[in-house]
Amino acid sequence: MSASEPPRFFDLTGVEWALIALAAVLTVALLASLRPDITLWPAMGIAVTTLVVGHLCMTVRRFVAFPDLIAAAACLQWVIAPWLAEAYPPDFFLFRMALGPDEYLRYAVPATVALWVGLHLPASRQLKGSRNVAEAEPLTPHVRRTLDAVIVLGLLVDAYSRAVPSQLAFLAYLVSSLRFVGALGWMVTRTPGWHIRVAVVMLHLAAVQSSGGLFYLVVHWGGYFVLVYGFMRRWRWQMAVALLVGLAGLSLLQGIKPNFRSSLVEEQVSGPVEAFTRLVSMLFEQARQGHLVDPDVRPGDFLVRFNQGWIVARVMTHVPAEEPYAKGETLMEALVFSVVPRFLVPSKRDGTSRELFRRYTGVYLSQNTRMGLGIIGEMYANFGRWGGIAATFVYGLAMGWLFLFFALRAQKNPLWWAAASTVLLPGVEPGFNLEDIANHVVKAAVLFFILWKAIGPLKGLLAVPVSDVHQGTYAFPDHGSGDLSPSIEPAAD
């Protein structure tokens, strides 16, 4: 950090923090004027959400702000949606909040803050100064061919993934995810032709997911691509617009999803293309009518699709009143099962098992339904209120160190931002259990390490400094928004 550069706290200057704090105060004041019943903890939850989103918008220009994406998703599902559920309860009693907003948010808000601090602490201590750089040049022809081969490999494996034995299904999924790594590699370096590759892999994903009526992978990968694009374009306020557009699009998708799934059952589709065409047609029709959600659906029934808090609240009322604290049992099982292959433990359960859900919520799920406790729900089930907050911080810290591993290398070689996606992405889902996330992260990290060290072209691609990866330097142009920090030159070979 140069002598003229203002000091930073968690990647922001004092002026930037002041602007975000002002936005938080104004947001709380505005909502309080509309909802006079807002009490202390809802107000704090709204303020924390504003700070998290503000931090995301301020830092996306300096690095791919994945920790803030995790925290923003947590704020939506752990804080905002549960708070709104008091005013807009769902018809189905099972999905209603078992606790009042103050009692629930007294745990959820500090736990969310603990997650955010844990996610950011490693990078804020290790990555000093700016992560801005000057303008990037296209990749060399050799690197382009390598990344295109990765995209083709991923698409081919995905096409034949259903023929893979169940013991190898997860490995096939990880290999198929390499198509996104290849597209992101083209994208983050602004190599001409990146638009086509991103469109191919994302439209292919949307079509395949449409045929099954499941869209969470589209949302996860789409969010990561938007983060990378915001980093490329050095966004600030534009990121806030993108988040609002994304939330509106997600609301539109959630609004038509029940009818879309029903149509898949009632009328068979010939394949992913027809399913995707039907989905787009239904989305367009809903938007044409000016509805973000189905007008026939009650607000509470729509809101519950974003609300992870009803599950956390069930855990809080069920443990320890009906079920004793797990005292780390589920966490140890998650860590063991994430490194032990399933064929060695035939009885190994799924992370979102119905039995685990029933045990710690008291709710029985149907045969075809799978739900997770969520990170803060599982931490509460193990350690209670204060122990759950501390454990959530430790979880955030672990994810933060993992993010730092990629971020440090991405300072010299932007292709590391592409590689990071396959390992980090499950962390963005607040509704997963620790086992879901640990199982993916550990196995994806092992596979990545093997490929990285064993395949010569990939090892060379990620090992060389950026000056050798490109025909020029790794950097993005400033689009007229005066940044407070100087550029970082790439390291010498």
Note the pLDDT tens digit of each residue in 90-120. 988 889 999 999 999 999 999 999 999 999 9
DSSP 350: P
Residue 480 in this model has a pLDDT that exceeds 80: no
Which residue is it, tokens 């729900």? 377
Distances (CA, A) of 403 to 65, 123, 176, 384: 10, 8, 22, 28
Residue 323 in this model has a pLDDT that exceeds 90: yes
DSSP 170: H
* Spatial distance between the Cα atoms of 27 and 22, rounded to a whole number of angstroms: 9
468: part of which helix (H) or strand (E)? helix 466-469
* Spatial distance between the Cα atoms of 7 and 485, rounded to a whole number of angstroms: 10
Q: Are 63 and 44 a contacting pair, CB within 8 Å?
A: no
C-alpha triplet 351, 453, 336: angle, nearest 5°? 25
Mean pLDDT, to the nearest integer, of 315-337? Answer: 91
**Residues near 367 by beta carbon (within 8 Å), at least 6 away in sequence:** 354
Residue 23 in this model has a pLDDT that exceeds 90: yes
| Tokens encoding 14 | 């004092």
Which residue is it, tokens 């010569």? 456
Residue 167 in this model has a pLDDT that exceeds 80: no
Identify which of 203, 214, 151 has the alpha carbon closest to the alpha carbon of residue 177.
Answer: 151
DSSP 13: E
Q: State pLDDT tens for residues 340-398.
A: 766 566 555 554 467 888 999 998 887 777 788 999 999 999 999 999 999 999 999 99
Q: State pLDDT tens for residues 238-265.
A: 999 999 998 888 888 887 888 888 888 7
Which residue is it, tokens 């698409």? 155
Q: Give me the pLDDT at residue 440, please.
A: 87
Mean pLDDT, to the nearest integer, of 190-207? Answer: 93
> CB burial class (10 A; 0-12, 13-18, 19+) of residue 154?
buried
Distances (CA, A) of 347 to 342, 358, 378, 434: 8, 18, 21, 18
Number of residues that make up the chain:
493
Mean pLDDT, to the nearest integer, of 416-430? Answer: 88
Mean pLDDT of the chain: 83
Q: Give me the pLDDT at residue 342, please.
A: 60
Mean pLDDT, to the nearest integer, of 441-454? Answer: 85
Identify which of 357, 310, 299, 359 has the alpha carbon closest to the alpha carbon of residue 94.
Answer: 310
Question: What sections of 166-215 are H helices per DSSP?
Answer: 169-176, 178-188, 194-212
C-alpha triplet 5, 403, 352: angle, nearest 5°? 145
**Residues near 177 by beta carbon (within 8 Å), at least 6 away in sequence:** 154, 421, 422, 444
| Tokens encoding 65 | 């702000």
